[in-house]
Amino acid sequence: MVVGPPKADATTVAELGRLGVATVHEAAGRTGLLGADLRPLWPGAAIAGTAVTVLCPPGDNLMVHAAIEQAGPGDVIVITTTSPSTDGFVGELITTALAARKVAGLVTTTGVRDVAVITSTRFPVWSRAVSAQGTIKATAGAVNVPISIAGTIVMPGDAVIADDDGVVVVPRLEVAEVAEQGRRREEREEHARAAFAAGELSLDRNGLRPELDRLGVRYVSADPVTGLAADPEGS
């Protein structure tokens, strides 16, 4: 159990939260996602904070309790297990404790329970499953060690951004650079959105027509009867 890890700058982390998961992921060179199966417990949840990592054995949440003490305002608890487990590692008692400590939210590759209560209190949780299955508190794990989820390495103190699009992690020392790239991308996207809303095509705006041509994509008319390419060499 590691205490007092250095953390990503809070102001920059908040800026990453404002940009949102999809933009941050792009700004980070399309890295850092924790996979498509981590979903918010309730729609509209959106947080940004610094990771307190937790590694548990399957079906045993002892180290989650140990991690609560290490988490405070602006932190995000990130839990995974040594082998896959959908058991209910987290319920309303734990989220009550986390809310009392002003922890920003919780992300877990396991299941959670007490969904109705957690949803009504609006504590933000991302999980792989909902399961009432109880856990034990019998085995050691680790807190604030490097963990990895869906191919992304999460270090304690890294920035964790989560919203309806999933969860993305940015290494602690890269938040400023990613935020800067994110702001640029945000600006470009605002212009693009306006253009597309006005009817411009991405084929034109992004210069994709020559690319299609280079790749050999040709336009052929459909046969009015079969609906297939009229020119058999087409498509």
> Which helix (H) or strand (E) covers residue 155, if one does?
none
- Measured between its terminal Cα atoms, the distance across the chain in Å is 59
CB of 38 to a copy of itself, least distance (A): 10
User: Which residues are 200's β-sheet partners?
Assistant: none
d(CA 110, CA 127): 6
x/- letters, 153..192, toward a copy of itself (CB under 8 A):
x-xxx-----xxxx-x---x----------------x--x
**Cβ-based nearer residue to a copy of itself, 104 or 118:** 118
Residue from 89, 92, 160, 178 that binds a copy of itself (CB under 8 A)? 92
Compute, in degrees rounded to 10, the torsion defined by CA atoms 43, 48, 54, 60: -20
CB of 11 to a copy of itself, least distance (A): 19
Residue from 14, 74, 148, 176 that binds a copy of itself (CB under 8 A)? 148
**Cβ-based nearer residue to a copy of itself, 11 or 218:** 218
Judge whether 76 and 162 are in contact, CB under 8 Å.
yes
CB of 74 to a copy of itself, least distance (A): 16
Distance of CA 179 to the CA centre of its chain: 16
d(CA 113, CA 68): 17
Q: Is 146 in the site for a copy of itself (CB under 8 A)?
A: yes
Q: Are strands 75-81 and 47-56 parallel, antiparallel or unpaired?
A: parallel
- Restricting to residues 17-46, name those near a copy of itself by CB under 8 A: 20-22, 25-26, 30-31, 33, 36, 39, 43-44, 46
**Cβ-based nearer residue to a copy of itself, 15 or 32:** 32
For residue 219, which phi and psi values (nearest 5 degrees)? -100, 125
CB of 56 to a copy of itself, least distance (A): 10
